[in-house]
Homo-oligomer: A and B are copies of this chain.
């Protein structure tokens, strides 16, 4: 059995985060010691590991909740898992695309700046007027 600190070390998750996961029912409440401290099993460790790794891969808490439910139904077809993963990949791809547009816009803005005083600063000028931009760089 692991204390919360040991579990934290074993999974690279902070102690506060583990307690938070319990509060939002992402982690089940573990057994307690005589003095009311949490004691975790290997099952807990595996579940938290799965959660942390999924978080590191950018899945939302809600997506992870679904993934955990799905991974418990071992005999079911994994189409739902696949769909979740693909949807996430696509979202990441879109985010990359919009950040690339943004970076190019920032680059153009920065390159345009030839030093000198603020009154003639290209960066301030661009920020003041979107028509200086090439694209739409909508939501970021």
Q: How large is the interface on A (under 10, 10 to 19, 20 to 34, 35 or more residues)?
A: 35 or more
Q: A92-B102, A95-B99, A106-B89 are in contact. Are A116 and B78 (CB under 8 A)?
A: yes
Contact B137 A78 (CB under 8 A): no
CB distance from A138 to the nearest CB of B (A): 7
Instruction: Report B-chain residues with C-beta under 8 Å of the C-beta of A113.
Output: 78, 81-82, 85
CA separation between A95 and B86, bound complex, in Å?
20
CA separation between A49 and B133, bound complex, in Å?
14
The contact string, 1 if C-beta is below 8 Å from chain B, for chain A 53-82, is 110111000000001001101111111011
Contacting chain B: which of A1-9, A28-36, A124-132? A124-132
10 A-B interface contacts by CB (under 8 A): A54-B127, A56-B130, A57-B102, A57-B137, A74-B119, A78-B115, A79-B115, A85-B123, A89-B103, A93-B103
